[in-house]
Chain A
Amino acid sequence: MSTTQERILTDAVREKIRGLLPRYPTKQAVTLPALHAVHDALGYVPQEAVVEVAELLELHPAQVQDTLSFYGFFEQEKPLGRHRLWVCRSLSCAAREGEKLLAYLCEKLGIRPGQTTEDGRIRLEFAECLGACDFAPAILADDTLHGNMTKEKIDELIDSLE
């Protein structure tokens, strides 16, 4: 289906996916790790990538797409911003002003959860319990968990993200 010219997955990503195959007895089991590999590399998983992953794993594209869409995690329209901010909305964080902080962030960045800022810098999401209840309210910014958030700390965090 896809020619080398039109291929969206780089050789590096393909190699990474193939490298996972020996760890599982079925190819289908590599679906989720493969989706992560693509998402990490491209910032999203476009339609064409779904097809290519399916080809690599000898699945029908529908078998990859349905798994992908089950997890609200994967973006499909266009690349995420440079930074992805997950703001927890579960009970302990909500009880410690978490929702107000999310509202503050939305106002500050001018976007709603599920959207990216115009300059492509920040993608905002709400998260279900981040497992950081010991420092609620918490925000997961890329790979770092930030706890005990306040408006001031949010300002600091936003400033620190390029």
Chain B
Amino acid sequence: MISDIESRLKSKFPDSLLNVVSKDKRITFSVKKEESYPILSELKDIGFNHLSDVTAVDYIDEQEFELTYHLWSHQEKIRAIVKVRIPRESPTVKSVVGLWTGAQIHEREDHELFGINFEGNPNLLPLFLEDWEEIPPFRKDFDTRKYVKEKYYLEEEGYPVVKG
């Protein structure tokens, strides 16, 4: 039941859960970066054994990345969504590979496309791109239209014309 899970977490971590919302079989809350690993570990013990996704969003105005962990429990049929904010200057966070094996590939993708460092992940080599020399492409300060227009198209008013 959702209320049991909420009370069990609040009793074990009384000051750490912020903005708790629980309705429609989903419980959502945010945590600070230092307490993310113990809370995720406790959620795994409660019964959230399926990790759906690890999403990263770039909030460039607030100079922060936000990581979201989406978990599902096959037993109770409840979804848990945990949000963590990390600074944009030197983004590092502890990896959850020890808890769910499938997390390894989600973190490798976020490392390549955003530049976030996950401590403890055994393999963070590039996945999709070969010989990429610019900044990580999914960050908000990489303008893909400007990059493509300089590299492949001629200078024209109106619509782009392909070189060659």
A and B assemble together: no
